[in-house]
Amino acid sequence: MKTEFDIIIIGGGINGAGIARDASGRGYSVALIEMNDLASGTSSWSTKLIHGGLRYMEQFQFRLVREALLEREKLLEIAPYIIRPLKFILPHSPSLRPTWIIQIGLVIYDYIAKRKYLAPSKKIKLNKTKIQNPLKEKFKVGFEYSDCKVEDARLVILNALDAKNRSAVILTNTKVIKANNKNGIWEIVTKSTNKKSSKQIKLKTKVLVNASGPWTDKTISVIDKKRHNQKNIRLIKGSHIVVPKLYNHNKAYIFQHYDGRVIFSIPFEKIFTLIGTTDEPFEGNLCNPKISDKETHYLCEAASTYFKKNISPKEIIWTYSGVRSLFDDGKLDAKDITRDYTIEEKIVNELLYISVFGGKITTYRKLSEEVLKIVDKKFKKNTKSWTAEKSLPGGDFSPLEFNSLLENYKKRFSFIETGTIERLFSSYGTNLDKILGNKSNIKQLGIDFGKGLYECEVDYLIKNEWALNVSDIIWRRSKLGLILNKAELERLNNYIISRN
Ligand SMILES: Cc1cc2nc3c(=O)[nH]c(=O)nc-3n(C[C@H](O)[C@H](O)[C@H](O)COP(=O)(O)OP(=O)(O)OC[C@H]3O[C@@H](n4cnc5c(N)ncnc54)[C@H](O)[C@@H]3O)c2cc1C
C-alpha cells in the first residue's frame, strides 16, 4: 500500500469524505482515515435534510441559508437518487407569528437562491384535506414549501467511493493515534480498531486535515501538543424518534414549537414517521450517544401538540441521537449557536494542518472547496472546482428522470418485488446494474436474507463499499435494521462470518 500522500484526512464523515473526493479529483494523492465505519459518527444521525434551514432566517443567518440553498439543487443534481425533493407543510399557529411574516420569510427562502427542480412555496387551506387529516382541527391554514431529503450515510459512502475511483486510499477501522512533525513532513501513526488486530501503520503527508466532527478537539490534542485540551467546540446532542407511520401522504410537517424550536415529522422508510429533533449540551461517550427520557417525552409531547393522535413513548420503534460539534461562538442557548462552518489553518514547524468545525451535511461540498483553496495555496497550485458538475457514482441522470428510470428497472427486473427495486434504485442509482447485472430470475440473486436483502447486494457492499459486519449493512448502507427480525439478522451474520 502507498504510504506517502499530499493530504491525509482524519475522519470519514461527510466532511472528510467530501474533502477526499474533491482533493483526489484535482490530482492530489489522498488518504482518508476513519476509526470506525464510514459515516458512523454524526453523519448518519442527522434529520436527513438537504435544506436552507427556515429557522436560521429568524436568526438572520442569511449567508448560511443562501449557501445551503444554492447547494440544495447542486447536490440534487449530482446524487438524484439518494437526494429527493420533499414538500413541507407548516401549519399556522395564530399564537406564534402573523401569516404575513411567514409569507415574507418563505418568499425570501424561495428566491434567495436559484431553483430549477423545486416548487415554490404557497399558502394552503388545510380544511378537510388529507394533509389536514392527521392534524388537530384547530389548524385551518398553513404553508407548503420545498426542500430535499437525503440518505445521509450513503452520501458519505458515495463520496468515499468516488474518491477511491479517483485513486484515494480509504482506510476504515483505523484510528489516528499520533501525528509527529519530522523532517518537514507529517508522520502519522494509525492503529487498527478491529478487535482481532492491533496493527499499526506509519503514513506520511504534507498536509493534514482534521475532519473528525465531535472529536475535533481530541484530534487537535494529538496533532498540536501546544493546544492539548483546548476547547474550540460545543457538543450538542440531537435526538430523533421513529414511530409507525402517522399519516398516508408523502409530505413532511414542520412545527414551530412554542419554545422556539422546530420539530420535523418526516415520512421514513415507507412505513414509519421520523420525529425530531432536540438540542441539548452533551457530555459522555461520543461513540454511543443515547436519547434521554427527557428528550423522548419532549418529542412525544411536542408531536402530540399538533397531531390528533397522542404519541406515547410506547409506540417508539427506534431512536437515534447524534452529536453536533459547533464552533463555540459564545452563545448561551444551544439552539442559537451558529450551524455555519469554520475552517482553521495552523502551522506547526512549518507544516500545515487544517481543522474543520461545525457545518451541515448540506454544505459539505462547499466546505470541501474552501479547504481545497487552502491546500492549493500550500502546493502553489490553482486547481479548478469540479464537484458540482460530476455526478456521484450511480447518479448519472437528471433528477427529472428518476421516476422513468425506476419504472425501467421495475420492468427489467419484474421478478423482484416492487418495493425491493424501489429501495435498491434509491440506494444505488444506476450502479444497481453492478449488483443485478444480467440476472434474470430470483434464484440468481443468491441467499434471501429476508425483507428484500439478497446475497448479491451483501457481496457488493462487502466488495465495494467497505461493509464488514451486519451493522454496517443494516444501519449505514441501508436502514433494513428497522425491519429485519432476529432470525434474519443471525442468518446474515453467519453468512458474513462464513465469507471471511
Ligand atoms: C441531530 C442532528 C441533526 C442534523 N440534521 C441535519 C440535517 O438535516 N441536514 C444537515 O445538513 N445537517 C444536519 N446535521 C449536521 C450534520 O449531521 C453534521 O454537520 C455532519 O454530519 C458533520 O459531519 P462531520 O464529517 O464533520 O462529522 P462526523 O460525521 O462525526 O465524522 C467525523 C468522523 O471522524 C472519525 N474520527 C474521529 N477521530 C478520529 C481519529 N482519531 N482517527 C480516525 N477517525 C476519527 C469519527 O469516527 C467520525 O466518523 C445534523 C446534526 C445532528 C446532530
What is the whole-number distance in angstroms between the Cα of residue 4 and the centre of ligand 1? 27
What is the whole-number distance in angstroms between the Cα of residue 41 and the centre of ligand 1? 5
3-state DSSP percent of the chain in helix, strand and coil, to 5: 40, 25, 35
Q: What are phi and psi of 182, to 5 degrees?
A: -125, 130
Please indicate, yes or no, whether residues 183 and 217 belong to a single structural domain of this protein: yes
Q: Answer yes or no: is the C-beta of 121 below 6 A from any ligand 1 atom.
A: no
Residue 363 CA: which ligand 1 atom is closest? Answer: 11
- Whether residue 384 lies inside any domain: the answer is no
Range of the domain at 267: 81-149+234-336
Contact 312, 299 (CB under 8 A): no
Q: How many domains does the chain have?
A: 3
Q: What is the CATH number of the domain that holds 369?
A: 3.50.50.60
Q: Answer yes or no: is the C-beta of 150 below 6 A from any ligand 1 atom.
A: no
Is the pLDDT at 59 greater than 90? The verdict is: no
Q: Answer yes or no: is the C-beta of 267 below 6 A from any ligand 1 atom.
A: no
Contact 437, 443 (CB under 8 A): no
Contact 376, 63 (CB under 8 A): no
402-457 confidence digits (pLDDT tens): 999 999 999 999 999 999 999 999 999 999 999 999 999 999 999 999 999 999 99
Please indicate, yes or no, whether residues 210 and 326 belong to a single structural domain of this protein: no
Please indicate, yes or no, whether residues 206 and 93 belong to a single structural domain of this protein: no
- Whether residue 124 lies inside any domain: the answer is yes
Please indicate, yes or no, whether residues 326 and 438 belong to a single structural domain of this protein: no
CA–centroid distance for 397 within its chain: 21
What's the pLDDT at 25?
A: 98
Residue 323 CA: which ligand 1 atom is closest? Answer: 53
Please indicate, yes or no, whether residues 346 and 212 belong to a single structural domain of this protein: yes
Nearest CA to ligand 1 atom 35: 11
Strand segments, DSSP code E, in 403-447 are none
Q: Answer yes or no: is the C-beta of 365 below 6 A from any ligand 1 atom.
A: no
Residue 135 grid cell? 392534524
What is the whole-number distance in angstroms between the Cα of residue 152 and the centre of ligand 1? 10
Please indicate, yes or no, whether residues 92 and 13 belong to a single structural domain of this protein: no
Q: Answer yes or no: is the C-beta of 52 below 6 A from any ligand 1 atom.
A: no
- Whether residue 388 lies inside any domain: the answer is no
What is the whole-number distance in angstroms between the Cα of residue 404 and the centre of ligand 1? 34
What's the pLDDT at 335?
A: 66
305-337 confidence digits (pLDDT tens): 999 999 999 999 999 999 999 887 777 676 667
DSSP 227-275: GTT---EEEEEEEEEEEE---SSS-EEEEE-TTS-EEEEEEETTTEEEE
Q: Answer yes or no: is the C-beta of 220 below 6 A from any ligand 1 atom.
A: no
Please indicate, yes or no, whether residues 492 and 354 belong to a single structural domain of this protein: no
Least trusted range by pLDDT, from 60-64, 184-188, 404-408: 60-64
Task: Report the mean per-residue pLDDT for the chain.
Answer: 95
- Whether residue 122 lies inside any domain: the answer is yes
What is the whole-number distance in angstroms between the Cα of residue 174 and the centre of ligand 1? 17
